[in-house]
Amino acid sequence: MSVTAAAGDSALQVNGGAYEAVIGIECHVELKTETKMFCGCRNVFGSEPNTNVCPVCLGYPGALPVPNRLAIEAIVKAGLAFGAEIPPFSKFDRKNYFYPDMPKNYQISQYDTPFTRGGVVSFWLPDGTQRQIRLTRIHLEEDTGKSIHAGSTDGRLGGSTHSLVDFNRAGVPLMECVSEPDIRSAVEAVAYLEALKRTFVALGVSDVKMEEGSLRCDANVSIRPTGASELGTKTEIKNMNSFRSVQRAIGNEISRQAEALSRGERIVQETRGWDEVAETTIVQRSKEEAHDYRYFPDPDLVPIEFAARDIARLRDELVTLPQPRLERLILHDRVSVVQAHQLIDTPGLADYYEETVALSEAPQATLNFVLGELSRLANETATAVASSALTPKALAEIVDLTSRGAINSKTAKDIIARVWSEGGSPAEIVEREGLGQVSDPAAVDGFVREVIAAQAESVENFRNGKETVLKFLIGQVMKTSRGKADPKLAEERLRALIAGSDP
Ligand SMILES: [Zn+2]
């Protein structure tokens, strides 16, 4: 009996046989709309309890829901961003169950006609592997209220003396994204969620603040012999409220199942909650089946049919999305996975980089400046690169001046620091102040001869085989030339003139 699994790795050994994890994720994302899904109440986090409520979201008899057009459009945009199909016909259904923080005793959701079907979420793992996870669907529903179990020390039901309910969240538009079971490890699960988050933030449909509960997710986890097509028995993990807990809960559940199988036990289909403190998943209840919810079309809401021109308009409104952008950076510009994410995840930096490359036509040199000197200055001065006085046009000039050898890297750094705060054209500064690199061998020879004459002892040491002295001598040439000599040429001429001169 043995189980081995490297942390975050998809390779899993159970009693010597190779196993793989099969993971599907359902995640709920609160939409960032002005008002709730079916009424005019404000959709804001952190208000006084029960102040953003009305007869509709409190489920008063006879109150009728009116769908929020912008929430529906947000779902369609999210689907389009991942290449999903937008079926022409959709409707809302009632999902019936009792919960103290759900006043109607049903939740308006979508059962068999979600707003979007299919689509692919594409992303890179930190090791550089590209992964593609298929989406099953994205549908729209309303959030429930929130129970607060008071009098307990940890906010949970056990040990509380009484429970309170806040309906501010009841009726907030909630997007549910369901993936196919294509995810193979805890690390992949987190990378998948980060890819979703990045896209939703770029689309402006949600601010995805996990600490405010605007992204919550459940994972279905099973394991099977590698290469098998049948699925093993799955468990559903609930209650994961940070990327860190997603990674640890899934990793923990994979190990638990592998250990159970290695002991010859069977996996029981059940819902398990993640206990952050005990660092383990614990049984909550056996899983309901869809038929337990008695879904039926909501008779208060008419079905929705999209016009082709509305879909076309929403497609046109898609901003530059992170997914195709990462692909362009990694596959076309050959930017590393880590650097590409640095560009995308720093607000405005990818725009700045792309605008500069459009002018400089030199991706690698531009990237080196953006992630090197410019990011350093941004940290030092607490100014975003895009808000500095150094425009993409100015940086493109620097890239051009250095790649032609017109200025050396030291001069480039000095000019960047000046233009960063003062603005202006690097090309004009070089011209006006005569900062151009000296690449004329005759002129460089002049500086070299001066240094050879002044540093007789070092020259002698070099001649006797002390190679490291050369660095010092090049430094002296740079100093004599006031930083303008071409360092490569300086080295060449130093070697030649020392070799050619008499000891
Ligand atoms: Zn309301």
Domains in the chain, please, with CATH?
3-312 (no CATH), 346-433 (no CATH), 441-500 (1.10.10.410)
Residue 40 CA to ligand 1 centre (angstroms): 6
Q: Which two tokens stand for residue 227?
A: 């290469």
The Cα–Cα gap between 117 and 137 comes to 4
pLDDT of residue 7: 46
Q: What does R_g of the chain's alpha carbons equal in angstroms?
A: 31
Protein residues within 5 Å, CB atom, of ion ligand 1 = 39, 41, 54, 56-57
389 C-alpha to center of ligand 1: Å? 47
* Angle (nearest 5°) at CA 41 between 38 and 45: 110
Contacts of 85 (CB under 8 A, 6+ apart): 79, 116, 117, 118, 119
Entry pTM: 0.81
DSSP codes, 262-277: HTTPPPPP-EEEEETT
Query: In angstroms, what is the span from residue 276 Cα to ligand 1's centroid?
Result: 34
- Least Cα distance to 300 among 496, 112, 56 occurs for 56
| Distance (Å) from CA 167 to ligand 1 centroid | 9
Distance 51 CA to ligand 1 centre (A): 10
Distance, CA 53 to ligand 1 centroid (Å)?
4
Instruction: Compute, in angstroms, the gap from residue 35 CA to the centroid of ligand 1.
Output: 8
C-alpha of residue 54 to centroid of ligand 1, in Å: 4
The number of beta carbons lying within 10 Å of the beta carbon of residue 267 is: 16
Task: Give the distance (Å) from ligand 1 centre to CA of residue 65.
Answer: 9
CA of 170 to the centre of ligand 1 (A): 8
Kindly give the distance from the C-alpha atom of residue 68 to the centroid of ligand 1, in angstroms, as a whole number. 12
Do 76 and 116 form a contact (C-beta atoms < 8 A)? Answer: yes
99 Cα–ligand 1 center, Å = 18
Distance, CA of 207 to CA of 209 (rounded, Å): 6
Q: How far is the CA of 293 from the centre of ligand 1 (A)?
A: 24
Dist. CA 30 → ligand 1 center (Å):
16
CA 392 to centroid of ligand 1, rounded, Å = 47
Q: How far is the CA of 33 from the centre of ligand 1 (A)?
A: 13
Residue 63 CA to ligand 1 center (angstroms) comes to 10
Q: What's the pLDDT at 239?
A: 73
Measured in Å, residue 91 CA sits from the centre of ligand 1 at 21
Distance of CA 368 to the CA centre of its chain: 21
What per-residue confidence (pLDDT) applies to 5?
A: 58
Ligand 1 centre to CA of 215 (Å) is 22
- CA 42–ligand 1 middle distance (angstroms): 8
Q: What is the mean pLDDT of each run of 10 residues along the chain (503 residues)?
A: 57 84 96 97 95 96 96 96 95 93 94 97 91 98 90 62 91 97 95 94 90 88 92 89 91 93 90 86 73 92 94 89 90 91 90 94 93 94 92 95 86 92 92 82 89 90 88 89 85 88 56
List Cα–Cα distances, 410 to 371, 417, 433, 434, in angstroms: 17, 11, 15, 15
Q: How far is the CA of 399 from the centre of ligand 1 (A)?
A: 56
> By three-state DSSP, how is residue 411 classified?
helix
Q: What pLDDT shows up at residue 485?
A: 85
**68, 33 Cβ separation under 8 angstroms:** yes
pLDDT at 367: 94
Residue 438: the pLDDT is 80
